[in-house]
């Protein structure tokens, strides 16, 4: 052994040829992705078999590795950076935010502590203040930067669990659930699946939840919410994952505050409505909640790996995530790990900071309101072509049905196969529906019209093949 592999790596760092190749491949991808088929072709999928190789005995060649990934991996991606992907709630990517990610990848920062990355620490603080201002949240609110809403919901509910148990004189970190007083968890029947997951992970038990009925739009039925008390955690939703509907925060948060119940708002994509002049009526009252979870990688179009937990009660969040008992770790500088479950983390805040700085308040407003306008355009054009729209399009989500469930399901399949655009299906009030989520800055009105045409063709094809 003569340090051969190390010498090679020094050479690669110095010569930078592999980085140039990666850059060229990325540019090529970006140029094609706007126009290519949205879902990979059958051939591209079959070519993934090329990756079925044994773990190498010996070092490989960086060029070959990159080349293999680009040749057989790039075509098997879903073209999410283009304007015609409407599945899940997947945002596009803001160029400035992507560029920042490239730079910060070279930094390779680990960000648990101020001392491990002063720049990340500072940007976390600044971004926290910006988000507080943007969403008009209370002055005491702190932010933790996590991987996504799954994790930020978990953090919010962990803080709620901490605080509510503490009020009842119980240290959950030390004593656990055995012999613990009972906490109540209340949420709507249409809470997101990741809410149930967090409830399970935190030991509350999904069967112990007091599930509240929802109205035709998927909003929690305000009148059906049971009496709250200080042992209660109430989980509300800003943006139903299917319909985009918003719960009645003003009424429910006010009620909760009166009795000292904790309110968490799952605002994964919908919280951003608060940043739009025309849409912020939807989030009225959120400032009365205790914790809020949302993503950068959905509505704000940052790269993935960007979730945020915001919590009005710093002590509850920090104590919950660090099992540190009834004290706060004070530090002159911000130590990011106090606000997240993870210790080692990349400097993910940089992309969020960059997106906010790039767009500014008016740019965010334009972006978010633009999703709404395109969603309404979708609904309008589809209706003109005889499709049924099942939800009030209050935000960026559109639920669409054809005559029968079979026709709808077949139509979805045909749309997906067309490569023209991509939409998923879901169940809505016992019906199969097409689910459209407009969430990328790259979606222009022409993309909507082109996609509507794909819908019409796909339905026509379904009608002719099913008879
Ligand atoms: C996407 C989503 C989540 C989960 O967020 P991830 O970032 O995918 O972990 C939770 N709640 C709602 C309403 C969502 O749309």
pLDDT of residue 325: 52
Asked if residue 111 and residue 44 are part of one domain, the reply reads: no
Evaluate whether residue 419 is within a structural domain: yes
**Tokens at residue 240, please?**
């139903």
CB count in 10 Å sphere of residue 201: 13
Evaluate whether residue 143 is within a structural domain: yes
Ligand 1 centroid – CA 122 distance (Å): 27
Which ligand 1 atom lies nearest to the CA of residue 152? Answer: 9
pLDDT of residue 36: 85
Asked if residue 439 and residue 415 are part of one domain, the reply reads: yes
Evaluate whether residue 416 is within a structural domain: yes
CB count in 10 Å sphere of residue 331: 12
Ligand 1 centroid – CA 350 distance (Å): 21
pLDDT of residue 34: 79
Q: How many domains does the structure of the chain reveal?
A: 3
Asked if residue 128 and residue 7 are part of one domain, the reply reads: no
Asked if 363 and 343 touch (Cβ cutoff 8 Å), the reply is no
CA angle 263, 180, 264 (to 5 degrees): 10
Q: What is the best residue among 144, 241, 395, 424 to mutate for testing ligand 1's pocket, by most ligand atoms within 8 Å of CB?
A: 241
Q: Could you list the residue range(s) of the whole structural domain that residue 40 is in?
A: 3-74
Asked if residue 286 and residue 170 are part of one domain, the reply reads: yes
Instruction: Give the integer Cα–Cα distance in Å for 252 and 232.
Output: 12
Q: Whose CA is nearest to atom 2 of ligand 1?
A: 268
C-alpha pair distances (Å), 86 with each of 164, 397, 451, 461: 39, 9, 10, 21
Asked if 33 and 82 touch (Cβ cutoff 8 Å), the reply is yes
Asked if residue 376 and residue 328 are part of one domain, the reply reads: no
Q: Whose CA is nearest to atom 12 of ligand 1?
A: 268
CA angle 201, 205, 208 (to 5 degrees): 150
Q: What is the best residue among 90, 145, 189, 192 to mutate for testing ligand 1's pocket, by most ligand atoms within 8 Å of CB?
A: 192
Instruction: Give the integer Cα–Cα distance in Å for 142 and 311.
Output: 5
Is the dihedral angle over the CA atoms 318, 322, 326, 327 positive or is it negative? negative
C-alpha pair distances (Å), 137 with each of 154, 175, 263, 283: 20, 33, 14, 11
C-alpha pair distances (Å), 176 with each of 161, 162, 179, 182, 455: 11, 11, 8, 12, 53
Ligand 1 centroid – CA 288 distance (Å): 22
Ligand 1 centroid – CA 89 distance (Å): 8
Instruction: Give the integer Cα–Cα distance in Å for 42 and 440.
Output: 25
Buried-state track 49-75, b at ≥16 Cβ within 10 A, e below 16: eeeeeeeeeeeeebeeebeeebebbbb
Asked if residue 393 and residue 246 are part of one domain, the reply reads: no
Domain boundary (333, 356, 379) is at 356
Evaluate whether residue 141 is within a structural domain: yes
In a structure prediction context, what are the per-residue pLDDT tens digits for the chain, which is 467 residues long?
689 999 999 999 999 999 999 999 999 999 998 788 999 999 999 999 999 999 999 999 999 999 999 999 999 999 999 999 999 999 999 999 999 999 999 999 999 999 999 999 999 999 999 999 999 999 999 999 999 999 999 999 999 999 999 999 999 999 999 999 999 999 999 999 999 999 999 999 999 999 999 999 999 999 999 999 999 999 999 999 999 999 999 999 999 999 999 999 999 999 999 999 999 999 999 999 999 999 999 999 999 999 999 999 999 999 999 866 555 555 688 999 999 999 999 999 999 999 999 999 999 999 999 999 999 999 999 999 999 999 999 999 999 999 999 999 999 999 999 999 999 999 999 999 999 999 999 999 999 999 999 999 999 999 998 65
Place of tokens 């990328």: 440
Asked if residue 315 and residue 405 are part of one domain, the reply reads: no
Q: Which residues line ligand 1 (CB under 6 A)?
A: 89, 148-150, 192, 194, 239, 241, 266, 268-269, 295, 307
Average pLDDT, the chain: 96
Evaluate whether residue 448 is within a structural domain: yes
Asked if residue 148 and residue 38 are part of one domain, the reply reads: no
Ligand 1 centroid – CA 268 distance (Å): 5
Ligand 1 centroid – CA 225 distance (Å): 23
**Tokens at residue 229, please?**
């008390």
Domain boundary (318, 337, 356) is at 356
Asked if 428 and 436 touch (Cβ cutoff 8 Å), the reply is no
Ligand 1 centroid – CA 43 distance (Å): 31
Buried-state track 146-167, b at ≥16 Cβ within 10 A, e below 16: bbbbbbbbbbbbbbbbbbbbbe
**CATH number (domain holding residue 410):** 3.90.1150.10
pLDDT of residue 35: 82
Asked if residue 284 and residue 372 are part of one domain, the reply reads: no
pLDDT of residue 271: 98
Which ligand 1 atom lies nearest to the CA of residue 269? Answer: 15
Instruction: Give the integer Cα–Cα distance in Å for 225 and 349.
Output: 36
Asked if residue 25 and residue 108 are part of one domain, the reply reads: no
């Amino acid at each position: 052994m003569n340090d051969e592999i190390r010498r090679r790596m020094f050479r690669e760092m110095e010569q930078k040829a592999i980085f140039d190749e990666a850059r060229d491949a990325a540019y090529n991808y970006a140029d094609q992705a706007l126009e290519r088929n949205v879902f990979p072709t059958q051939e591209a999928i079959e070519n993934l078999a090329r990756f079925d190789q044994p773990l190498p005995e010996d070092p490989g060649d960086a060029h070959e590795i990159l080349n293999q990934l680009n040749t057989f991996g790039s075509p098997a991606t879903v073209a999410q950076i283009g304007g015609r992907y409407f599945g899940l709630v997947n945002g596009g990517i803001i160029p400035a935010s992507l560029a920042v990610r490239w730079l910060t990848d070279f930094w390779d920062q680990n960000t648990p502590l101020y001392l491990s990355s002063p720049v990340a620490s500072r940007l976390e603080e600044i971004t926290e203040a910006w988000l507080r201002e943007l969403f008009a949240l209370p002055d005491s609110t702190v932010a933790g930067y996590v991987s996504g809403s799954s994790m930020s919901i978990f953090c919010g509910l962990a803080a709620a669990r901490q605080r509510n148990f503490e009020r009842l004189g119980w240290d959950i970190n030390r004593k656990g659930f055995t012999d613990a007083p009972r906490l109540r968890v209340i949420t709507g029947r249409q809470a997101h699946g990741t809410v149930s997951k967090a409830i399970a992970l935190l030991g509350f038990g999904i069967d112990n939840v007091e599930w509240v009925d929802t109205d035709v739009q998927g909003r929690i039925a305000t009148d059906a919410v049971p009496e709250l008390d200080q042992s209660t955690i109430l989980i509300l939703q800003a943006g139903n994952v299917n319909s985009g509907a918003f719960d009645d925060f003003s009424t429910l948060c006010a009620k909760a505050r009166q009795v000292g119940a904790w309110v968490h708002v799952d605002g994964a994509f919908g919280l951003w409505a608060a940043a739009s002049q025309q849409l912020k009526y939807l989030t009225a009252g959120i400032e009365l909640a205790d914790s809020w979870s949302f993503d950068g990688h959905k509505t704000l179009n940052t790269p993935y790996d960007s979730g945020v937990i915001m919590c009005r009660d710093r002590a509850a969040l920090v104590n919950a995530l660090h099992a540190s008992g009834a004290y706060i770790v004070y530090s002159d500088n911000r130590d990011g790990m106090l606000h997240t479950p993870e210790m080692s983390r990349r400097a993910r805040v940089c992309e969020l900071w960059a997106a906010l700085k790039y767009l500014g308040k008016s740019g965010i407003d334009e972006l978010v309101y633009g999703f709404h306008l395109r969603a309404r355009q979708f609904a309008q054009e589809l209706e003109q072509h005889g499709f049924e729209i099942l939800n009030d399009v209050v935000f960026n989500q559109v639920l669409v049905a054809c005559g029968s469930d079979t026709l709808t399901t077949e139509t979805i399949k045909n749309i997906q196969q067309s490569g023209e655009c991509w939409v998923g299906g879901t169940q809505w009030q016992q019906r199969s529906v097409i689910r459209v989520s407009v969430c990328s800055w790259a979606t222009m009105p022409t993309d909507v019209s082109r996609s509507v045409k794909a819908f019409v063709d796909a339905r026509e094809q379904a009608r002719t093949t099913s008879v």
